[in-house]
């Protein structure tokens, strides 16, 4: 694997910049907000009941008070009651009715095919909105199905499918948690009374830690949804000092349970953290591993990548599902920021595909096979620049740090590759580079054809190029613009077609008239980098570029010489302010005479300028005190300054010296687009050698 930092070409064109599109989240409706508020608590109650009842049974078995299989009948009854409560709460809080047929629904996909024209959209589609109450419900706005369990149990989305998803993931967590605590220990293990009490005590304390951590994460996430705080979910365990203190106390109680109820000899008799009997030698080791496992299994999504173990999805991810990502242990097909490889592997479950060489989260080639020759080109902002025109304010502007692309290396050889260069002998050092950057439909991520080739062929890739009749139609896979293009079929409760239909009344009781145009399909783009801000003679613009085709070319793995052929399309948006051509992710003055302007905070002791604690020396923190904001303070929270996601949380993207921190989570206002579909630019080739272009 090769990671190469390169100098971007200086090109005399206005549109040579890049940006990643944001996945703009819809504001939650009243019903959606109710669902996301209630669902975590009910799922946590199910997990807590399952753990408590099963552990109670295991403790009784191990101590000899009630030998037998666990959970026993009494435990199972209580667990079943909690399972029923979860389904009832999902039906109550996460469900609406279709606007015309009044059938229960969790998304528009739940509603039957209709033969009328909606006055707003002009399309014949029944929506999940409680009719006249206009209270929309779309379970996908809450992240379902995410990357964990697609909603495919029945012919359409349903509350039962959501329930099955959450219950399955919850059961996975509780099973693994009990295995981590009890392992192979049973009545037959012959523990002493003290050893049994030790195991019971640390089991209860570990359960308490997991429950407390998820309650803390849920409270934080709800505050994020309401716009009360602006932090990344990965900071949710530490964002609020009071809540963080509760988690800390739960961790301290677990440590105390080890020290007060156990001896090192007791711990050595147990099978903790999957280490086998005697595999965990003492209390200190047990405390460390069980604390980490409790956090991993309950709130892995609130942990930084470096603190996550590759394991089953956590309970937090069961109720706050996200689009599949590297580290969730599942093979996801969503494209990454700089490549369309999606994931070739993810954790031990998929590692066989790479012969044990699956690269972990955080790697430059994360969740891809480390035994495949591949190169990643990264732009270096200290060595690269954009040249719009020959002179002037827009000349010599730095490019975004870290933009670039990934390519496979083929048809060459090197006996020893050392990170970025061939240090062994090479009979053929010139490799063909083959990338996968073409925009592709979400249902065809590795296909030969791009979105436009599937669609209308107008040389512009759009989501509607990917709309096809869904699997419930009599003509699945056919390109469509609206539901009438798709043949309707009556489907029974298990999804078996029973006959043709145009509307719900054509079907028998208990059947659904299905067969729609899949408007959830989308065109997945590979972008060059985060949004790029430019200001030329007072004209502030924000640029976003996406690849139009796969990148190909050659590279010499001995000398580093390369040619790459790249076709991109760039869109230009008018900036919200001259000093802020692109919306930024935090770092703007709040109050004072410079409100809204770009700013930096200051380190707590040295006073050095900063945006994050990591910018400060020796454990100092970055504070909102700022010389840039007279009479006010520098807002350091990661939230978008402008655009359709103004005020909402964002992830740090690419920092620019003059125009702040841009982010793919903070797009420009669509109405500020002054370039239409954008300008298609061919770099044929982009090269590592000096090149003189003739003017035309």
Task: State residue 475's pLDDT score.
Answer: 96
Whether the pLDDT of residue 544 is over 50: the answer is: yes
Burial of 81 (0-12, 13-18, 19+ CB in 10 A): exposed
CA atoms of 428 and 431, how far apart (whole Å):
8
**SS3 state at 316:** helix
The alpha carbon of residue 268 and the mean position of all alpha carbons in its chain are separated, in whole angstroms, by: 39
Rg (CA), the chain: 28
CA atoms of 668 and 544, how far apart (whole Å):
9
- pLDDT (tens digit, 9 = 90+) per residue, 105-129? 998 888 898 877 666 665 677 889 9
Mean pLDDT, residues 599-609:
94
Task: State residue 316's pLDDT score.
Answer: 86
- Band of pLDDT at residue 23, cut at 50, 70 and 90: very low
- pLDDT (tens digit, 9 = 90+) per residue, 318-370? 887 765 567 666 666 554 443 344 677 877 656 677 888 888 876 778 788 88
Enter the pTM of the model. Answer: 0.72
- pLDDT (tens digit, 9 = 90+) per residue, 210-243? 999 999 888 888 777 676 766 666 677 877 777 7
Q: Are 319 and 301 in contact (CB under 8 A)?
A: no
Burial of 2 (0-12, 13-18, 19+ CB in 10 A): buried
- Band of pLDDT at residue 539, cut at 50, 70 and 90: confident
CA atoms of 526 and 438, how far apart (whole Å):
7
Q: Are 594 and 632 in contact (CB under 8 A)?
A: yes
- pLDDT (tens digit, 9 = 90+) per residue, 402-421? 677 788 888 887 766 665 56
CA atoms of 344 and 328, how far apart (whole Å):
13
∠ CA 168-173-178, nearest 5°, is: 125
**359-373, 520-534, 542-556: which range is least confident on average?**
359-373
**Minimal CA–CA distance to 534: which of 574, 567, 589?**
574
Q: By percentage, how much of the chain surpasses pLDDT 90?
A: 37
Q: Are 16 and 386 in contact (CB under 8 A)?
A: yes
- pLDDT (tens digit, 9 = 90+) per residue, 126-148? 889 998 888 999 887 887 766 66
Calculated CA dihedral for residues 324, 329, 331, 336, nearest 10 degrees: 50
Mean pLDDT, residues 645-668:
82
Give the residue with greater pLDDT, 375 vs 16. 375
Residue 78: how many other CB atoms lie within 10 Å: 15
Task: State residue 52's pLDDT score.
Answer: 95
Residue with tokens 């005190």: 625
Q: Are 246 and 212 in contact (CB under 8 A)?
A: yes
Q: Which pair of tokens denotes residue 156?
A: 């359409």
Give the residue with greater pLDDT, 398 vs 205. 205
Give the residue with greater pLDDT, 202 vs 655. 202
- Band of pLDDT at residue 156, cut at 50, 70 and 90: low
């Amino acid at each position: 694997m090769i990671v190469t930092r390169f100098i971007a070409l200086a090109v005399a064109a206005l549109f040579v910049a890049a940006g990643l599109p944001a996945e703009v989240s819809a504001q939650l409706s009243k019903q959606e907000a109710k669902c996301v508020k209630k669902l975590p608590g009910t799922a946590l109650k199910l997990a807590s009941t399952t753990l408590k009842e099963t552990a109670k049974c295991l403790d009784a078995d191990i101590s000899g008070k009630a030998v037998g299989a666990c959970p026993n009948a009494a435990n199972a009854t209580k667990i079943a009651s909690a399972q029923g409560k979860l389904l009832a709460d999902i039906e109550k809080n996460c469900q609406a009715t279709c606007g015309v047929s009044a059938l229960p629904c969790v998304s528009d996909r739940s509603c039957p095919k209709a033969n009328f024209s909606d006055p707003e959209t002009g399309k014949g589609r029944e929506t999940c909105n409680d009719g006249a109450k206009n209270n929309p419900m779309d379970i996908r706005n809450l992240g379902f199905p995410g990357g964990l369990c697609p909603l495919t149990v029945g012919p359409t989305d349903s509350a039962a499918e959501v329930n099955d998803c959450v219950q399955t993931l919850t059961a996975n967590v509780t099973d693994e948690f009990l295995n981590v605590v009890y392992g192979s220990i049973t009545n037959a293990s012959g523990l002493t009374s003290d050893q049994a009490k030790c195991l019971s005590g640390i089991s209860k304390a570990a359960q308490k830690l997991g429950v407390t951590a998820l309650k803390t994460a849920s409270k934080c996430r709800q505050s994020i949804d309401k716009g009360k705080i602006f932090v990344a979910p990965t900071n949710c365990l530490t964002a609020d000092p009071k809540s963080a203190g509760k988690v800390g106390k739960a961790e301290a109680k677990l440590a105390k349970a080890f020290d007060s109820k156990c001896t090192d000899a007791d711990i050595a008799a147990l099978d903790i953290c999957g280490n086998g009997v005697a595999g965990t030698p003492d209390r200190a080791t047990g405390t460390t591993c069980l604390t980490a496992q409790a956090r991993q299994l309950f709130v892995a999504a609130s942990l930084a990548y470096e603190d996550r173990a590759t394991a089953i999805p956590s309970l937090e991810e069961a109720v706050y599902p996200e689009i599949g990502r590297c580290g969730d242990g599942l093979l996801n097909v969503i494209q990454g920021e700089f490549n369309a490889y999606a994931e070739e592997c993810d954790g031990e479950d998929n590692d066989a595909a790479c012969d044990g060489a699956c690269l972990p989260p955080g790697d430059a080639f994360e969740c891809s096979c480390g035994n495949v020759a591949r190169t990643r080109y990264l732009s270096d902002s200290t060595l690269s620049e954009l040249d719009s025109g020959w002179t002037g304010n827009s000349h010599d502007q730095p490019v975004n740090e870290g933009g670039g692309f990934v390519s496979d290396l083929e048809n060459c050889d090197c006996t020893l590759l050392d990170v970025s260069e061939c240090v062994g002998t090479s009979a053929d050092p010139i490799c063909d580079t083959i990338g996968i950057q073409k925009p592709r439909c979400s249902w065809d991520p590795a296909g030969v054809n791009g979105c436009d080739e599937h669609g209308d062929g107008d040389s512009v890739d759009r989501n509607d190029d990917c709309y096809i009749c869904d699997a419930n139609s009599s003509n699945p896979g056919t390109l469509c613009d609206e539901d009438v293009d798709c043949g309707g079929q009556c489907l029974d409760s298990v999804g078996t077609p029973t006959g043709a239909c145009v509307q719900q009344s054509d079907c028998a009781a208990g059947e659904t008239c299905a067969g729609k145009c899949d408007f959830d399909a989308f065109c997945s783009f590979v972008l060059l980098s985060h949004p790029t801000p430019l200001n030329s003679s007072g004209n502030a613009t924000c640029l976003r570029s996406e690849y139009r085709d796969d990148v190909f070319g050659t590279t010499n793995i001995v000398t580093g010489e390369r040619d790459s052929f790249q076709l991109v399309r760039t869109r230009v948006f008018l900036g919200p302010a001259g000093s802020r051509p692109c919306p930024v992710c935090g770092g703007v003055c709040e109050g004072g005479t410079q409100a809204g302007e770009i700013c930096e905070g200051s380190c707590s002791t040295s006073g050095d300028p900063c945006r994050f604690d990591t910018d400060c020396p020796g454990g100092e923190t970055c504070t909102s005190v700022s010389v840039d904001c007279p009479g006010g303070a520098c807002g350091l929270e990661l939230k978008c300054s402008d655009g359709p996601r103004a005020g909402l949380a964002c992830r740090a993207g690419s920092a620019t010296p003059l125009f702040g921190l841009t982010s793919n989570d903070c797009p420009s206002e669509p109405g500020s687009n002054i370039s239409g579909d954008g300008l298609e630019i061919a770099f044929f080739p982009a090269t590592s050698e000096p090149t003189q272009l003739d003017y035309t």
